[in-house]
Amino acid sequence: MEYKGLIRLVNRPCIKSTGSAVGKKEMEGPLAEFFDVSSDDDKFGQKTWEQSESEMARIAFETALLKGKCSKGDIDLLFAGDLLNQCTAQSFGLLDENVPYIGIYGACSNLAEGLMLSAMCVNAGYAKLAAVSTSSHFCSAERQFRFPIEYGSQRTPTAQHTVTGAASIIVESSLHHENDYVYINEVLPGRIVDMGITDSNNMGAAMANAALDTLKRYFMQTNLKPDDFDLILTGDLGAEGMAIVKDLAIQKKMVFGENLSDCGLMVYDLKKQDMHAGGSGCGCSGVVVASHLMEQFRQKKCKDILFLGTGALMSPGSVMQKLSIPGIAHLVRLTHS
Amino acid sequence: MEYKGLIRLVNRPCIKSTGSAVGKKEMEGPLAEFFDVSSDDDKFGQKTWEQSESEMARIAFETALLKGKCSKGDIDLLFAGDLLNQCTAQSFGLLDENVPYIGIYGACSNLAEGLMLSAMCVNAGYAKLAAVSTSSHFCSAERQFRFPIEYGSQRTPTAQHTVTGAASIIVESSLHHENDYVYINEVLPGRIVDMGITDSNNMGAAMANAALDTLKRYFMQTNLKPDDFDLILTGDLGAEGMAIVKDLAIQKKMVFGENLSDCGLMVYDLKKQDMHAGGSGCGCSGVVVASHLMEQFRQKKCKDILFLGTGALMSPGSVMQKLSIPGIAHLVRLTHS
């Protein structure tokens, strides 16, 4: 085995079940029918926005367990992370689950990072069932990263709207049975890429080059090309980041067709909902992959896709100190039997 | 293989090299001679405390590469995390290393968590060389978690002092050679345990039960007992947490002898330095394991140890919202050939 970063998972880890929970604005978007649980007031019965996010995370995880016909005692490893300081949305939400817990932080790439690690652990035999859990909440994210909601501050056109959503995906080994499964065949961990972007209202720009860096490494190592896939799904660059990816791809002599899309452009109706450059947050690619994408596989509308979870590795403090916003993108190849 | 959480690493992943960098107070402590690099003013030539921590992390990683006679291009996977919001100490410090980067968050358990994941990846053949990097800085931690240094606020006797320190450990496979190595034989990921502690100046108490939970699971699954090991090293419970562990152990019918110790009690001279309940922070167990413990192995003073990285999974926000402080403890068994 050559070590250029690409990890081939030969024991065919596959997705056993998924769970998703979202807020009101997500239910007004085009993917509403695919989500499992929602809360009309985004509060999920809790007092604070942070606790609402935690509860939403717990619900998404419990939903994935229920749909997978398994219990929390069956989960050998749980990879979880979110955007809140010290990743407390997940740690408090999953406090009572009593499962071996491995905290991760990849900003909005958390779902891809955790899915990658879950599949790697199942493939190696470290876990019979491993799971990833992630979340973001518009109100807890605004409070922490931008302004209190009550200010009613204006947003720039390049800003993305943090998705109120939580997602869980349970991964198992498919070695002992053949079925109608989505397999995780290959994963490629990303590298940190810094484009020198300092505008924290333009995360898409900060992450675009990271997405291309990972894609370029993937195509070089596999000798595959973009149109070998039904879909190349980034999550979440938004309209601005997507435009930059397309521009930069031309410079880098990479040719993308109509099969390039982004979770941030799918979760809301950008013509009808006032969402600027689209959705963002760990929950964005989380709920799109855990709900809509799984349905696309089931309906045989796609068979072989590349999912690139993108993350912006900054903090409000680093932005105030005028540091740039580095990006990262982890790749997961998903194929349907 | 039975899945009760314990993961046996049969391909003998081992520690190739380590790097440590510390501040002034750590150099005044009893382990000074074992650290690789230090900064007299804790700044490592940087302008802000956050950038000082990042630079310290970069130095520790580069030192581990140097001592391991390898280059950053040889590292297939890097697991990194710290205590700063959105884990920026590591992501900015290791920005230019250009290695596949997997962000982790386990609070002060980061070294154990990353060492566990590095060993699992090397053992499974996903990486020829994997590394963990972690850090904490007294001044960046005070600013974020407590009060600005300039306030000169008093600390409670149960408070621990955040270690200014960064550590990196590089893990490789020992399959093709036999040598004088420290092996990572077994790992056991921890579960979140909530004792209902709400005093953020008493992290040791919050983490004590998590440490015992993991130890109890380990001894049950292996049929081993505490005195089968030369050392059971927690990191970092401090004086208060250690006293609670000993009390609770009696209740749980676990018998610990003189071989139970804690990184937080080793890094400073608690009689001479004014450090209250001892050291804490990701850098505490980081630099103790990466320097002093490795030397103990080399001098054959210990041969078979259990290292438990403990973490408190709270944030300043969760404390202000009066939530409890959950703890976690990841176990890594280290043996010397």
The residue of chain B with its CA nearest to that of A123 is: B124
Show the tokens assigned to B164: 């200014």
Percent above pLDDT 90 for chain A: 85
ipTM over 0.90: yes
Q: Check residue B296 and give its pLDDT.
A: 96
Q: Which pair of tokens denotes residue A214? A: 């990972």
* Whether the Cβ atoms of residue B195 and residue B50 lie closer than 8 Å to each other: no
Q: Which residues of A touch B81 (CB under 8 A)?
A: 103, 105
C-alpha to C-alpha distances, B281 to B44, B81, B161, B278, nearest whole angstrom: 18, 11, 8, 11
End-to-end CA distance of chain A: 25
Provide the shortest C-alpha distance from residue A272 to chain B (in Å): 33
Judge: B76–A48 Cβ closer than 8 Å, yes or no. no
In this predicted structure, what is the pLDDT of residue A124?
A: 97
Contacts of A61 in chain B (CB under 8 A): none
Instruction: Please check the confidence at residue A32 and state whether its pLDDT lies above 90.
Output: yes
Nearest CA in chain B to A48: B321
Nearest to B87 by CA among B64, B44, B54: B54
Which is nearest to B23 in space by CA: B168, B140, B133?
Answer: B140
Strands (E), chain B: 7-8, 13-22, 37-38, 77-82, 101-103, 129-136, 161-162, 165-173, 182-188, 231-235, 260-262, 279-280, 304-312, 327-336
Residues 6+ apart with CB under 8 A from A321: B48, B50, B51
Quickly list DSSP for B113-125. Answer: HHHHHHHHHHHTT
CB A279 within 8 A of CB A268: yes
Contacts of B62 (CB under 8 A, 6+ apart): B19
Is the CB of residue A52 less than 8 Å from the CB of residue A24? no
A293: left (phi over 0), alpha (psi -120 to 50) or beta: alpha
* B81 contacts A102? CB cut-off 8 A: no
> Shortest CA distance to B309 belongs to which of B335, B282, B334, B290?
B282
Number of neighbouring beta carbons within 10 Å of residue B225: 11
pLDDT given at position B3: 56
Q: Which residues contact A277 (CB under 8 A, 6 or more apart)?
A: A157, A158, A159, A160, A204, A238, A239, A240, A241, A264
Distance from CA of B117 to the nearest CA of A (A): 9
Task: Count Cβ atoms below 10 Å from residue B295 Cβ, excluding itself.
Answer: 12
- In three-state secondary structure terms, B188 is strand
Structure token pair of residue B242: 């250690």
In tens, the pLDDT along A279-330 reads 999 999 999 999 999 999 999 999 999 999 999 999 999 999 999 999 999 9
The three-state secondary structure class of A256 is coil
Q: At what angle do helices A203-222 and A238-251 cross, to 10 degrees?
A: 40
Question: Using the beta-carbon criterion (under 8 Å), do A103 and B106 form an inter-chain contact?
Answer: yes
Q: Considering only the beta carbons, identify the residue of B103, B124, B311 that sits closest to A106.
A: B103
d(CA B146, CA B154): 11
CA pair distance B20, B166, nearest whole angstrom: 6
Q: Please determine, for residue A102, whether its predicted confidence score (pLDDT) is greater than 70.
A: yes
CB-based contact A191 B98, cutoff 8 Å: yes
Spell out where A161-209 has E strands.
Answer: 161-162, 165-173, 182-188
Task: Give the largest Cα separation in chain B, rounded.
Answer: 56
List the pLDDT tens digit at each of the 337 positions of chain B.
445 789 999 999 999 999 999 999 999 999 999 999 999 999 999 999 999 999 999 999 999 999 999 999 999 999 999 999 999 999 999 999 999 999 999 999 999 999 999 999 999 999 999 999 999 999 999 999 988 888 888 888 888 999 999 999 999 988 766 667 899 999 999 999 998 989 888 888 889 999 999 999 999 999 999 999 999 999 989 999 999 999 999 998 888 999 999 999 999 999 999 898 999 999 999 999 999 999 999 999 999 999 999 999 999 999 999 999 999 999 999 999 8
Backbone angles phi, psi at B325, to 5 degrees: -110, 100
Q: What are the φ and ψ backbone dihedral angles of B90, each rounded to 5 degrees?
A: -75, -45
Alpha-carbon gap, residue B282 to B133, rounded angstroms:
10
Distance CA B134, CA B90 (A): 7
For an interface test with A, the pick among B52, B61, B94, B105 (most A C-beta atoms closer than 10 Å) comes out as: B105
Give pLDDT, residue B252: 86
Are A240 and A313 spatial neighbours (Cβ–Cβ below 8 Å)? no
**CA torsion angle B208 B214 B216 B220 (round to 10):** 180
- What H or E segment, with its residue span, contains residue A196? none
Contacting residues of B for A318, CB less than 8 Å apart? 50, 86, 88, 92
Angle between helices A138-145 and A49-67 (to 10 degrees): 140
Q: Are B76 and B130 in contact (CB under 8 A)?
A: yes
Cβ of B313 and A5 within 8 Å?
no
CA gap A199, A334 in Å, rounded: 33
Tell me: pLDDT of A148 over 90: no
Q: Do A194 and B102 touch (CB under 8 A)?
A: no
Q: Whole-prediction pTM value?
A: 0.97
A298 to A177, A181, A301, B181: CA distances (angstroms): 18, 9, 8, 49
Over residues A245-253, the mean pLDDT reads 91
pLDDT tens digits, one per residue of A224-240: 999 999 999 999 899 99
CA angle B92, A328, A172 (to 5 degrees): 125
Return the closest-CA partner of residue B328 out of B306, B307, B310, B308.
Answer: B310
- Collect all residues of chain B within an 8 Å Cβ-Cβ radius of residue A77: 189
